[in-house]
Chains A and B, each alone.
Chain A
Amino acid sequence: MDNKDEKPNRVVLTEAQKKRQRERSIAIACALGILVLLFFAVTFVKGPGVLVRPM
């Protein structure tokens, strides 16, 4: 039987680790946001031609 008072064995991040993790997450979000914007911009640039895939 599990003891309900026993805390689960979890990794507790230090403040520095949390800060770095947050910074990395923001950087990934920005990179993905830029990728979305680039694809969106190209639909305007190419118009219907966006569906044409020249080799």
Chain B
Amino acid sequence: MSVVDQKAIELPPRISEASVADYFALLKPRVMSLVIFTALVGLMIAPGHVHPVLGFISILCIAVGAGASGALNMALEGDIDVLMSRTANRPIPRGRITRGEAMGFGLTLSFFSVMTLGALVNWYAGGLLAFTIFFYVVIYTMGLKRRTAQNIVIGGAAGALPPVVAWAAATGSLSVEPLLLFLIIFFWTPPHFWALALFRSDDYARAGVPMLPVVAGPDATRLQILLYTIVLVAIAAAPWPLGYFDWVYGVTSLVLGAGMLVLAINVYRHRTGSQALRATRRLFAFSILYLFALFAVLLLDVVVKAVVPLIW
């Protein structure tokens, strides 16, 4: 018997002291909250009536599926999470949960979220949820993240799918509206994450993740942020003249879009010192508000249209 084998036998068994909160942290609750919100909008703007119980189950399954993706992502990225200050406090780098445990947790939740959505709501939505998890874990985390600077551009599709899944859960089909929501989140992702990557580029460089600022440099990233923001503002406003969403959405989209553009221009202009750092942090923070407000207007529109006839 080799020395290595002998030591392996002598090691005491590892007893987990992970708390429920540690497992909850694996679900990336902050990302999950945005997923829940965008999915809720997808569900609410869908035509026809959705029974509240089925609506609740749909959102719950989408949220759990997103959380499962987060857990699988953390299981696969434990080696680089420990190197980055932003992620060093996650349960795996802290030694609270092993990568194997996170993998088991993520796979179990993936299975139950997809099967429950499929069995209780419809298999079209269940299939789309399975595809979303597959895309985030296999295509983005395993395939793109450590290989290309376009990782978050292509990988952004996974984050953009929840409202599409929710629409499919409500209607059993797809239409232009959920694809518009998909495009808005898809083109929102690069400016949002590249703003983060600009002020966290040391982290990504240390971990060997080829984010755009690490590979192409901060100036090229600033240009890309500006270009993607222009496309985002145009796409976000397009549903109004195309007649899919009303003028309240259109005006809000233009006002918020102007804010995004101004902040993206600031990021492009201020390239050094504290001004540059402040500009990127502002864009990052505002981009979250931008997406939230844009979707909130759509949600409000549905609520107002449902409530006003009851009052008058």
Contact = CB atoms under 8 A, between A and B. Distances in A.
A binds B: yes
Contacts of A17: 15-17
B124 A23 contact: no
B95 interface: no
Contact of B122 (A13, A20, A54): A54
Interface string B106-138: 000000100010011011100000000000000
Interface string A1-43: 0000000000101101100110110010000000100110110
Contacts, number: 48
Contacts of B15: 11, 13-14, 17
A21 B12 CA distance: 18
Interface in B3-40: 12-13, 15-20, 23
B206 to A, nearest CB: 32
Interface SS of chain B:
helix
Contacts of A16: 17
Contacts of A41: 53
A39 B172 CA distance: 19
Interface residues of A, number: 19
B54 interface: yes
Given A23-B19, A42-B54, A54-B122, 17 more contacts: A11-B12, A11-B13, A14-B15, A17-B16, A20-B16, A20-B18, A21-B16, A24-B18, A27-B23, A35-B116, A38-B57, A42-B53, A42-B57, A45-B54, A53-B123, A55-B122, A55-B123
Interface of B: 12-13, 15-20, 23, 51, 53-54, 57, 60, 112, 116, 119-120, 122-124, 172
Interface of A: 11, 13-14, 16-17, 20-21, 23-24, 27, 35, 38-39, 41-42, 45, 53-55
